């Protein structure tokens, strides 16, 4: 018996020692290799403040535009750029990371699960830095010196910033989260109002209002590669929407992915490399083929030099180039090339998600517009209806405009012009920028002056003045109240949750949330009634239909 107890004690001791070694490895042994920087004289540069929210470091600057976001110009070598970005964006780096961390906590409220995720991601991404070009590691390293120390409990600053670039990829792949359901399209020749190349895209990525408020339009003149302009946020050097001085544009559309088995290049970093180093579609495709990525994604490449747009469809295992047989091309969240057409993930995605429905609605709108101009491209990006103009509820994922967009952009690559949506979502004014004229004067800016093209502004959507918009805002408040109530003891709740329906009566989710509340209250027959009503509406995807049917069966099973 004593021998048995001793054996058990040794086993327990061994397991504890193994756990301690694993913890030490995860905590200290997985630190990325820091780039070696010989010349750090850039640290001596100081940020100077000027009137009207203008900040400068030599010829680099950050300024608050009167249209609601930040405009920024940075030039130089990689590490130098990173340090300057960090110094210019120091205040926003804190508020942005706080908003990001708070959003993660709201999605994953369990502290123990958050700790597990922390170490899982550290292990999963142990080789992440090997998948970044040295140039981008140096840029991130430079910016990391200005990152807040408050979040060092997650990881050291450089480690955190590397991993944040992969956050979209990991979340998208592991949970197939509907955080990104983007739509993009392009036309040229007979389908364009002036025969020139024109591109529209919605970047439907929502992680809270605070995150959206720190949007930056970054103009960059690197020592190597082309000058670029891209929409980004503090701490992010990757690209999701951008244009270079060759008139090449890059935008991203997520596709259904398998769970990744190891670290790879984040898709936004691949997009940044293409933007900085490709002048045409062939060069963009050559870069894309060289990089292994976490997830499946489509990169829409517009090219002034080619006078057309193509899709680079990429998965962790292969890359394909897709050209349309017409002088227009459409993209939602499924693949169109022969290489991916018959793959199981793609077939399932088209059958079960909102992607094909949105694609078909886009076809309707483009056929109606006939010839695309900046104005009717914006009208299409703002469309909230379903196929045939059906009212499917405000915020439905099957609509092009789901009212979650971080930004919308219209590009005219051959004219080096682009328009960006102002808050909220795609509904505010669209502001025009002339790429060449901005870079011509960027390095000599000495006051907070207007750099956008004011006379090319596109007016805000009249929807903002409508009762429907007011009702949608009220609907969102009710939705949050119900979500909070679902986390509490039913006895402490006293909501008239069915009121949510009157503010968005054609949206299936309104009935789902009402049903969820009454199910939580134990009112099974009332809940079942709302769930059945939800099934009569246009539901995002088959997974939601299955979930609602399961809830209906749960209500039946527990009724006396």
Q: Are residues 293 and 185 in the same domain?
A: yes
Among 391, 420, 449, which residue terminates a domain? Answer: 420
Q: Decide which of 159 and 381 is more confident.
A: 381
Q: Which pLDDT does position 327 carry in this prediction?
A: 98
Tokens standing for 108? 């994953």
| Three-state DSSP state, 274 | helix
Percentage of residues in the chain having pLDDT higher than 70? 84
Q: Decide which of 195 and 23 is more confident.
A: 195
- Whether 473 is covered by a domain: the verdict is yes
Q: Decide which of 91 and 503 is more confident.
A: 503
- Whether 412 is covered by a domain: the verdict is yes
Dist. CA 91–CA 379, nearest whole Å? 36
CATH code for the domain of 502: 1.25.40
Q: Are residues 409 and 472 in the same domain?
A: no
- Whether residue 30 contacts residue 58, with contact meaning beta carbons closer than 8 Å, is answered with no
Going by pLDDT thresholds of 50, 70 and 90, the confidence category of residue 498 is very high
Q: Are residues 352 and 414 in the same domain?
A: yes
- Mean pLDDT taken over the chain: 87
Q: Check whether 369 has a pLDDT greater than 50.
A: yes
Mean pLDDT of 530-534: 97
Sign of the torsion angle spanned by Cα atoms 486, 490, 495, 500: positive
Question: What is the span of the domain harbouring residue 201?
Answer: 178-220+238-420
Going by pLDDT thresholds of 50, 70 and 90, the confidence category of residue 155 is confident
Q: Are residues 252 and 331 in the same domain?
A: yes
Q: Which pLDDT does position 98 carry in this prediction?
A: 80
Q: Are residues 192 and 340 in the same domain?
A: yes
Tokens standing for 433? 């920028």
Residue 427: how many CB atoms within 10 A of its CB?
A: 20
- Whether 332 is covered by a domain: the verdict is yes
Q: Are residues 472 and 402 in the same domain?
A: no
User: pTM for this one?
Assistant: 0.89
- Whether 108 is covered by a domain: the verdict is no
Q: Are residues 216 and 292 in the same domain?
A: yes
- Whether residue 95 contacts residue 119, with contact meaning beta carbons closer than 8 Å, is answered with no
At 256, give phi and psi (nearest 5°). -70, 135
> How many distinct structural domains can be found in the chain?
2
Most confident of 11-15, 200-204, 328-332, 488-492: 328-332
Tokens standing for 36? 């070696």
Tokens 């077939």 appear where? 347
- Whether 2 is covered by a domain: the verdict is no
Q: Are residues 384 and 478 in the same domain?
A: no
Question: Which stretch of DSSP H or E encloses residue 60?
Answer: strand 60-64
Going by pLDDT thresholds of 50, 70 and 90, the confidence category of residue 26 is very low
Mean pLDDT of 217-242: 95
Q: Are residues 268 and 411 in the same domain?
A: yes
Residue pLDDT, tens place only, 294-319? 888 999 999 999 999 999 999 988 99
Q: Are residues 242 and 298 in the same domain?
A: yes
Alpha helices in 374-454 (DSSP H): 374-381, 435-441
- Whether residue 145 contacts residue 83, with contact meaning beta carbons closer than 8 Å, is answered with yes
- Whether 278 is covered by a domain: the verdict is yes
Tokens 């199910």 appear where? 519
- Whether 72 is covered by a domain: the verdict is no
Most confident of 106-110, 399-403, 554-558: 399-403
Q: Are residues 388 and 491 in the same domain?
A: no
CATH code for the domain of 188: 3.60.60.10
Q: Are residues 401 and 477 in the same domain?
A: no
Mean pLDDT of 341-362: 94
Dist. CA 108–CA 118, nearest whole Å? 12
Tokens standing for 499? 């009121």
- Whether 413 is covered by a domain: the verdict is yes
Residue pLDDT, tens place only, 78-114? 999 999 999 999 988 888 788 777 766 665 556 665 5
- Whether residue 534 contacts residue 508, with contact meaning beta carbons closer than 8 Å, is answered with yes
Q: Check whether 19 has a pLDDT greater than 50.
A: no
| Three-state DSSP state, 282 | helix
Q: Which pLDDT does position 116 carry in this prediction?
A: 57
């Amino acid at each position: 018996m004593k021998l048995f107890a001793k054996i058990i004690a040794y086993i327990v001791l061994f397991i504890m020692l193994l756990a301690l070694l694993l913890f030490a490895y995860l905590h200290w042994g997985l630190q990325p290799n820091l780039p070696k920087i010989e010349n750090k004289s850039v640290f001596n540069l100081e940020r100077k403040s000027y009137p009207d929210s203008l900040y400068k470091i030599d010829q680099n600057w950050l300024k608050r535009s009167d249209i609601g976001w930040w405009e920024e110009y940075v030039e130089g070598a990689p590490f130098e750029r990173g340090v300057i970005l960090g110094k210019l964006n120091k205040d926003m780096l804190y508020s942005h990371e706080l908003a990001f961390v708070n959003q993660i906590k709201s999605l994953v409220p369990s502290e123990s699960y958050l700790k597990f995720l922390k170490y899982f991601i550290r292990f999963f991404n142990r080789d992440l830095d090997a998948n970044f070009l040295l140039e981008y590691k140096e840029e991130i390293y430079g910016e990391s010196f200005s990152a807040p120390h408050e979040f060092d409990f997650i990881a050291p600053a450089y480690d955190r910033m590397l991993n944040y670039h992969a956050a979209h990829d990991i979340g998208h792949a592991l949970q197939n989260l509907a955080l990104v359901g983007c739509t993009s399209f392009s036309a040229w020749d007979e389908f364009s109002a002036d025969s020139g190349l024109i591109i529209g895209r919605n970047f439907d990525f929502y992680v809270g209002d605070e995150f959206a408020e720190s949007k930056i339009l970054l103009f960059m003149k690197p020592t190597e590669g082309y000058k670029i302009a891209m929409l980004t946020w503090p701490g992010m050097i990757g690209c999701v929407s951008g244009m270079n001085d060759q008139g090449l544009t890059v935008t991203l559309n997520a596709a259904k992915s398998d769970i990744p088995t190891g670290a790879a290049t984040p898709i936004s970093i691949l997009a940044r490399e293409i933007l900085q180093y490709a002048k045409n579609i062939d060069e963009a495709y050559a870069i894309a083929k060289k990089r292994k990525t976490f997830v499946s994604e489509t990169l829409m490449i517009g090219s002034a030099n080619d006078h057309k747009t193509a899709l680079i469809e990429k998965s962790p295992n292969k890359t394909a180039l897709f050209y349309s047989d017409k002088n227009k091309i459409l993209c939602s969240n499924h693949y169109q090339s022969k290489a991916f057409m018959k793959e199981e993930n793609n077939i399932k995605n088209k059958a079960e998600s909102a992607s094909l429905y949105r694609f078909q609605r886009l076809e309707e709108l483009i056929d109606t517009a006939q010839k695309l101009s900046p104005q009717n491209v914006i009208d299409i990006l703002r469309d909230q209806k379903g196929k045939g103009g059906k009212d499917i509820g405000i915020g439905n994922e099957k609509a092009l405009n789901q009212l979650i967009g971080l930004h919308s952009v219209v590009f005219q690559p051959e004219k080096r012009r682009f328009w960006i949506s102002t808050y909220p979502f795609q509904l505010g004014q669209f502001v025009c920028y002339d790429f060449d004229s901005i870079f011509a004067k960027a390095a000599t800016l000495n006051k907070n002056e207007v750099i956008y093209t004011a006379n090319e502004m596109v007016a805000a959507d009249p929807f903002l003045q409508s009762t429907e918009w007011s009702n949608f805002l009220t609907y969102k408040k009710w939705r949050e109240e119900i979500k909070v109530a679902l986390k509490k003891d039913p006895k402490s709740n006293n909501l008239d949750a069915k009121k949510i329906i009157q503010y968005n009566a054609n949206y299936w989710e309104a009935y789902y949330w009402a049903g969820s509340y009454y199910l939580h209250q134990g009112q099974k027959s009332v809940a079942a009634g709302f769930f059945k009503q939800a099934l009569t509406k246009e539901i995002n995807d088959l997974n939601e239909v299955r979930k609602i049917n399961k809830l209906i069966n749960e209500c039946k099973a527990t009724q006396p």
